[in-house]
Structure 1
Amino acid sequence: MQQSNSPPTAKRLLYALLGLSLFWPLPAAATNGPDATENSAAGQTAKQSPQSPEFSLDEVEITAARDSAPDDGYIAKRSSAATKTDTPLEETARSLSVVTGEQMAARGVTDLFDALSYTPGFSDATANRDSRHFLAQIRGFINNFVTHTDGLRMLQGVGVANPNYDTYSFERIEVLRGPAGILYGAGNPGGVVNQVSKQPTSQPLREIQLQTGSNNLFNGAIDLGGAVNAQGNAEFRLTARSSDENTSMDYGKAERHFIAPALTWRPSDNTSLTILTHFQKDDIKGAPDINPYRYLPNHGLYGYSGTRFYGEHDYDRFTKNDKELGYILKHRFNDTWTVTQSARHSTIDEKSRVIYVDSAANGVASRSAEYLDTDLSANIIDTYFQADWSSGAVKHVTLLGFDYQNTGYDYNYAWGSVADLDLTAMNYGQKITDPDFTYMWKYKVKQTGWYLQDQLKFGRWTATAGGRYDRYDSNRLERLTNTYTRIDQSAFTGRLGLVYDAGNGLFPYISYDESFEGQQGTDRYGNAFDPTTGRQYELGVQYAPENSSIRYTAAIFDLRKQNMLTDDPLNQAGQTRYQVQTGETSARGLELEANIAALKGFNLTAAYTYMPKHEITKDTAAANIGRKTANVSKHSASFWLDTAAPAQEQGILAQGWGFGAGLRYIGSRYDYTNTVKLGGVVLTDAMVRYDSGGWRYALNVHNLFDREYVIGTFPAEGYEYVNPGRTFRLTATRRW
């Protein structure tokens, strides 16, 4: 380690960036929308260091080492997803899964659904797997299209304008199950999905990838990185991919293009600044549902092909332009204090035109057109100070943080009837004009959060305690009527966790965590609703023997979402219907997970989830109590086994074959009304690869036996979504 002083220019830049966390909240008190206003904040890993009793901001003269190498490999050992600090997974009193880059490559991952399909507590049996958005369940609670990237929430609009980045741009995916309000603010009680971006590297990295597959898929990708200058204090990364394929619907076509340049600058051993950018364009022509849907016998389209296109070639289209500019700043003041600041500015421009079939009879389909035009501009910043210190025999890692987000969102929606379609002649080519806007909403959002967390280590025990206070406003202008809807809410969330090192790699733990979500609307007396809340008790154990590539976890949990809206018992027929906050949904379950790397030449990933209870436990309508949550399986399981990658010589893969196979079981489940029970299904995935001359050739097949299964059902409307069938990908990758 060496001593150094930050040069004046670097110090001025540092202070200016830190000052943003104070100045960003100053714009006029804007407001906050419903789901779109949920808070997010989670920073990047801050490195622990020996203790020191003092620090000075004006004279930065300290001893520090460069950040350690990233935690890579088939099995992750550390993560900051559950604590915001660089913590060994076994010392985290939470159920946490890390899907590494090696795992994603072995399974031929193409999207988040594929990435998380072998993760306990996760299910995509929610709605159609549409490449425009990511909608899934964690512990039976729908994520409402919300994901996080590099610890910061990906801000989105109300059901649309949702970021859905290409998985090739990520090093790994982290899933923190259960409430996470103290670190991430407003959010779903089921958990958090955090995507970790590929960042600049000090070692040279060059990768090209070509891929083809089912549905006339073709894409090409590059991943480049390394040092920028001879001093080694500047590094870059450039990741990009271009993809073109047909959808499973007739006449459907999907294109995606993204590029993500990144740069890291280290003006001193104590300071680093990483600039992260991401530019992505999605263009989908044809029907929006990437999965075909099957019509039920009571629907007029029953018996027709599930992949038939009922729109117009020149009308049905979805486009989204997503742009992001952000940074991660880390600075060590002395051996005790470190500061990390993450920030992002993002914009989304999204347009969607779709023609739907309202009804069909006598060979004629009556149709309507839906037109969406949305724009989003969002800023989010998270700053936290970390102190590594001791008080007697107790070692502390203390966080004190503040985050802020400001979002502007325009939402314009139109719906109207259009010309009928002759189902025999299929008379495409009719002129379609956009219907007049039905809704024209303008949202303004401001949210602030303050949090404090302490990790205490004493003897064989590690404890975590913390609290957070959030406040946000929302203001929605209905431009057609020039009326405003305002929400002003606040919430406090806390956490407690305790882990015991029982020796020989065994770590039992217990934890309690809370979350909240913003809730719009008022009761019959005009009183604004409070946020919905989540609370969870979890008891678990982790087994991770030292100097091994093995990790087993087991967790039982009791999770409840409370303050949910239910019908007001004072409602009268024919009068305005009001709601009250007395609803509750409860979930209890068991999760098991195993990860083993390079054991006698094999890698293994296995998971099992058992949820005997996931139902409504409080409601003003007695008939609803005990109703099971839609599309939540009592049993689900997965198992993946592949041969470990051959040894490398001077960075070149040794010649040889590799194989892999996986099984996924999705158990039976009920629809929303509990009148339809959906059967379970076993799905099979497979992989074959061959390494030679620096190239890796891999064939991945998903749903090998082409099993069809329902992932969502809407019997009142007469149709249900089904799996898209077998898909395959042939990939050639060259890294040097």
Structure 2
Amino acid sequence: MRYHNMIINGLTRSFYFFAVLISLSLTAVLLPKPSFAEALNSAKPALRTFNIPAGFLYEALIQFSQQAGIKLAIDPVKLQGKVTFGLSGDFDIKSALDQLLIGSGLQVMKQDDSYTLTEVPASSVDPIVTTLPSIQITASNTNRYAAVSTTTATKTNTLLRDVPQSISVITNELIKDQSIRSIADAVRYVPGVGVSQGEGNRDALVFRGNRSTGDFFTDGIRDDVEYYRDLYNIERVEVLKGANGMIFGRGGSGGVVNRVTKQANWDPVREFSFQGGSFNQKRMTADVGHVINDVAAVRLNAVYEDAGSFRDGVSMERLGISPTVTLKPTHRTRIIANMERYHDDRTADRGIPSFNGRPVDVSRSQFFGDPRRNNANINVLSFNSFIEHKFDSGFTLQNRTNYATYDKFYQNIFANLPFSPGLGVQLGAYNNATDRENVFNQTNLLYSLNTGSVSHTLMAGIEIARQETHNKRQTGDFHGNSFVSLSNSITNIPITFSTRDTIGSVDAYNRSLVNVTSLYIQDQIQFIPQLQAIVGVRYDMFEVDFQQKNGPKDHLKTNDDLIAPRFGLIYKPIEPVSFYASYSQAYVPRAGDQLSSITVTTAVLKPEKFTTLEAGIKWDIRPDLALTGAVYQLDRTNVINSVVAGQTFLSKGQRTEGVEVSLAGQLTSNWNVMGGYAYQVGEITSDIKDIAKKGTKVAELPRHTFSVWSRYDFTPRLGAAFGVIHRDNMFTSLTNTVILPDFTRVDAALFAQFTKSFRGQLNIENLFNTKYFASANNDNNIAPGSPIAVRATLIANF
């Protein structure tokens, strides 16, 4: 009941806040805008500001009808494969549609209160032809690897080239082609982002030298617990790099990953996939969407997977189901509701130890510890809603609510120190239980207006959140027999787990309550068509109530008032090309999982601060082919660093600098690519007592990375793909004593369309069986990379 009351109170505060904003905004508008019906019958049609990105014409016309508030008869068959250069600026309806339809061979006809698209008669074609920039027309939008717009980076529908930040989008087509099943798989071809081990129980990424296990979002809402996420119900994955606290608040630090979920819509879908592969891997997914009527549509996504591993004794099993319903009671109102029930149960695998500054030389399948007692499982239950209404006055009001519960437990026995020829490998052990309940409510108000020749897209919002976490950790006691040999690295001895409660050795046993209230405002300004700016600021009131139930039994309370600004400038010498420069900050207060492995003090609770300076170029070579480049500097202060298992240390700061280049889209109508290159360097900016000196290299930061995935379709029924991933060597921790060697890995795939309803694909990972090390958590938890692995998938569409 208290969560229900909290949500009601949050909604009341949100709508009160926006009622004030609406009143102030309406006061500034001297005259109401005429309706489109009045505009069409007047001598001088009224103008409306449109912002529709280049891309497929079908999608653009849907956006146009929503923005204009008109009825537009759209035939998907007639529009198949047609593209548009987009629409940006002030137009009346007729001029706007004419602009969108340039080069399509279609024209618009008005019938009563609706509009219909018809083909331009051959006899009416003007013999004087204006030559427009060439544009590639394809038979469908299948296998397109380039996205043209996003709402994640600005909370408004914005062209990617008009966002002053480096963004990589893993589209639904790329997810299918690469047979991506996890976040780690998804970022393999994203420059500037690496994969950390995550202690074998959670997703962990390295954004420009900053490891994170918490910068994960779903539809713009924080997905705040540590576990392995699946992509069975995901439409696309967006990777934003650099600080962005203005949009994301807590979590917009070195970068974020936002998963965009599949929603019920009016395009029926019935897709089933069956996959089997190496190491006894079996996976089934279902994606079923049904149109009830003009007002309602439903969709159901589900997954079941049961798989072994090339690692001895390691396996996993997961099950997920996610139903969604979309309602459109009016053409101006949209309501989306969905829930997810997800379970993941797997062997917790911490990898192998080091020896003489390198991973110890053993078989990549060899396990250290005891896989029978190493396990990680989580149960997730979430409910989500999204409500959007577009007012006649031009305002758009959006509200998104998320309620989720997480129940997670993991236990692991692992290599705790390097291999010693005289003693063997010393093991460590602990388990950790976390129960968490999250409530997030986010309300945004959007409005576009002109002040003279300057156009504005305004966004203001409020977000409230409550997070309650109960966490308990127990350390394993080997009773004086914690060593194993390289020839026999599995332990069978009894281990006693208990919560340590002695001076200098205290395990986490705590309760934390976090309350967040955030206010933010943003203005996307177009001074002239060639010059744009984004200016925004966010205020976070972040309250933490932390109670340690053992040891010193501390009860700490903090209240942080944080301000995160963002400023970006975009210059467009020509429409497809943008040069940008940006400055942004983010704060990450300590909460939740960050408090489970460190002695909590007031200094520890002080937020981390991230500051990013970035400049770059974005060039849409064509609407379906994008080239981007960026140079950046990212500073981080009050950093928690992991050096050995179960221990973390505070450092005053670190700095990373780098250059990134990426390419995504279609080189030709049957040739698609995605990949990039990154050059990165980083060091800590002050001494860490007894650990590292100023100038020490940042861990998990390779200097050079390169990756490219390329698919070529020989015929409409047959295609193939190759992928190359190269990573330079890197240190596993701030001790700078253990190095993960560089490697180059090759992947491949074959695609076949058997019939209209059935297609198949064969994905081969590590085609040449390269021996490499995929990731690390510290000097002695190193994950070997998989040997050659084959997965065959059959996809049925009805």
Question: What does residue 537 of structure 1 align with?
Answer: 613
Decide whether the 8 Å contact of 1:52 with 1:335 is kept in 2: no
Question: What does residue 768 of structure 2 align with?
Answer: 705
Deviations 1:603-645 (A, max 9, x none): 011301112x311234477972221101211111111110249
Alignment identity in percent? 23
Moved more, 583-592 or 491-500: 583-592
Q: Which amino acid aligns with 1:470?
A: D
Matched, 1:296 2:345: no
In structure 1, how many angstroms separate the alpha carbons of the residues matched to 2:752 and 2:672?
A: 17
Deviations 1:579-615 (A, max 9, x none): 998x23112211111113261420011301112x311
Q: Pick from 634, 642, 653: which aligns with 1:559?
A: 634
Question: What does residue 660 of structure 1 align with?
Answer: 721
CA shift in 2, pair 1:53/1:114, >3 Å: farther
For residue 462 of structure 1, report the CA deviation from its aligned partner. Answer: 1.6
For residue 74 of structure 1, report the CA deviation from its aligned partner. Answer: 3.0
CA shift in 2, pair 1:372/1:17, >3 Å: closer
Decide whether the 8 Å contact of 2:357 with 2:739 is kept in 1: no
Moved more, 209-218 or 414-423: 414-423
In structure 1, how many angstroms separate the alpha carbons of the residues matched to 2:341 and 2:761?
A: 28
Matched, 1:354 2:401: no
Question: What does residue 467 of structure 1 align with?
Answer: 537
In structure 1, how many angstroms separate the alpha carbons of the residues matched to 2:470 and 2:252?
A: 24
Decide whether the 8 Å contact of 2:228 with 2:344 is kept in 1: no
Decide whether the 8 Å contact of 1:451 with 1:469 is kept in 2: yes
Decide whether the 8 Å contact of 1:294 with 1:721 is kept in 2: no
In structure 1, how many angstroms separate the alpha carbons of the residues matched to 2:423 and 2:403?
A: 50
CA shift in 2, pair 1:362/1:137, >3 Å: closer
Question: What does residue 324 of structure 1 align with?
Answer: 382
Matched, 1:262 2:262: no
CA shift in 2, pair 1:598/1:228, >3 Å: farther
Matches within 5 A, 1:122-521: 122-124=193-195, 126-127=196-197, 130=200, 132-156=201-225, 162-187=226-251, 189-229=253-293, 232-285=294-347, 287-289=348-350, 292-293=351-352, 295-296=354-355, 305=363, 307-309=365-367, 315-356=373-414, 369-418=429-478, 434-436=497-499, 438-460=507-529, 461-480=531-550, 482-503=553-574, 505-519=576-590
Question: Considering only aligned residues, what root-mean-square deviation do their CA atoms show, in Å?
Answer: 3.7
For residue 17 of structure 1, report the CA deviation from its aligned partner. Answer: 8.6
CA shift in 2, pair 1:469/1:217, >3 Å: same
Moved more, 411-420 or 513-522: 513-522
Matches within 5 A, 1:20-31: 20-22=10-12
Question: Higher relative CO (CA 8 A, sep ≥ 6), structure 1 or 2?
Answer: 1
Decide whether the 8 Å contact of 2:214 with 2:224 is kept in 1: no
CA shift in 2, pair 1:524/1:96, >3 Å: closer
CA shift in 2, pair 1:589/1:365, >3 Å: closer
Question: What does residue 607 of structure 1 align with?
Answer: 676
In structure 2, how many angstroms separate the alpha carbons of the residues matched to 1:333 and 1:645?
A: 49
Deviations 1:280-315 (A, max 9, x none): 111114x434xx42552699x967655345655764
CA shift in 2, pair 1:695/1:165, >3 Å: same
CA shift in 2, pair 1:527/1:362, >3 Å: closer
For residue 244 of structure 1, report the CA deviation from its aligned partner. Answer: 0.1
Q: Which amino acid aligns with 1:205?
A: V
Q: Which amino acid aligns with 2:533?
A: A
For residue 241 of structure 1, report the CA deviation from its aligned partner. Answer: 0.6
In structure 2, how many angstroms separate the alpha carbons of the residues matched to 1:66 and 1:362?
A: 80
Runs of 5+ unmatched residues, structure 2: 1-5, 17-28, 34-66, 77-82, 84-140, 501-506, 642-648
CA shift in 2, pair 1:688/1:193, >3 Å: same
Comparing both structures, which one devotes a greater share of its residues to helix? Answer: 2
Decide whether the 8 Å contact of 2:410 with 2:431 is kept in 1: yes
Q: Which amino acid aligns with 2:232?
A: Y
Runs of 5+ unmatched residues, structure 1: 1-15, 27-50, 56-61, 157-161, 567-578, 647-653
Question: What does residue 651 of structure 1 align with?
Answer: none
Q: Pick from 725, 731, 750: which aligns with 1:670?
A: 731
For residue 724 of structure 1, report the CA deviation from its aligned partner. Answer: 2.7
SS at match of 1:624: coil
Q: Which amino acid aligns with 2:536?
A: G
CA shift in 2, pair 1:434/1:668, >3 Å: closer
Moved more, 208-217 or 508-517: 508-517
Question: What does residue 570 of structure 1 align with?
Answer: none
In structure 2, how many angstroms separate the alpha carbons of the residues matched to 1:411 and 1:66?
A: 54
Matched, 1:86 2:144: no
CA shift in 2, pair 1:524/1:513, >3 Å: closer
Deviations 1:231-265 (A, max 9, x none): x1111110001000113332222100000100111
SS at match of 1:252: coil
Question: What does residue 685 of structure 2 align with?
Answer: 617
TM-score (norm 1): 0.81
In structure 2, how many angstroms separate the alpha carbons of the residues matched to 1:677 and 1:670?
A: 5
Matches within 5 A, 1:656-735: 656-671=717-732, 672-693=734-755, 694-712=757-775, 717=780, 720-735=782-797
Moved more, 310-319 or 625-634: 310-319
Decide whether the 8 Å contact of 1:598 with 1:644 is kept in 2: no
Decide whether the 8 Å contact of 1:163 with 1:322 is kept in 2: no
CA shift in 2, pair 1:112/1:408, >3 Å: same
Moved more, 470-479 or 515-524: 515-524
Question: What does residue 116 of structure 1 align with?
Answer: 187
CA shift in 2, pair 1:734/1:53, >3 Å: farther
In structure 2, how many angstroms separate the alpha carbons of the residues matched to 1:78 and 1:357?
A: 46
Q: Which amino acid aligns with 2:700?
A: N
CA shift in 2, pair 1:312/1:191, >3 Å: closer
CA shift in 2, pair 1:328/1:376, >3 Å: same
CA shift in 2, pair 1:321/1:397, >3 Å: same
Q: Which amino acid aligns with 1:389?
A: L
Moved more, 254-263 or 512-521: 512-521
Decide whether the 8 Å contact of 2:314 with 2:371 is kept in 1: no
TM-score (norm 2): 0.75
For residue 497 of structure 1, report the CA deviation from its aligned partner. Answer: 1.1
Decide whether the 8 Å contact of 2:510 with 2:549 is kept in 1: yes
In structure 1, how many angstroms separate the alpha carbons of the residues matched to 2:473 and 2:778?
A: 26
In structure 2, how many angstroms separate the alpha carbons of the residues matched to 1:624 and 1:80?
A: 42
In structure 2, how many angstroms separate the alpha carbons of the residues matched to 1:699 and 1:333?
A: 49
Q: Which amino acid aligns with 2:451?
A: S
In structure 1, how many angstroms separate the alpha carbons of the residues matched to 2:382 and 2:349?
A: 25
For residue 519 of structure 1, report the CA deviation from its aligned partner. Answer: 4.7
Q: Which amino acid aligns with 1:296?
A: F
In structure 1, how many angstroms separate the alpha carbons of the residues matched to 2:258 and 2:194?
A: 16
For residue 709 of structure 1, report the CA deviation from its aligned partner. Answer: 2.2
Q: Which amino acid aligns with 2:450?
A: S
Q: Which amino acid aligns with 1:380?
A: F
In structure 2, how many angstroms separate the alpha carbons of the residues matched to 1:580 and 1:725?
A: 37
Deviations 1:453-472 (A, max 9, x none): 00111322221101111111
Q: Which amino acid aligns with 1:276?
A: N
In structure 2, how many angstroms separate the alpha carbons of the residues matched to 1:247 and 1:687?
A: 20
In structure 2, how many angstroms separate the alpha carbons of the residues matched to 1:528 and 1:351?
A: 25
Q: Pick from 579, 597, 610: which aligns with 2:666?
A: 597
In structure 1, how many angstroms separate the alpha carbons of the residues matched to 2:340 and 2:548?
A: 32
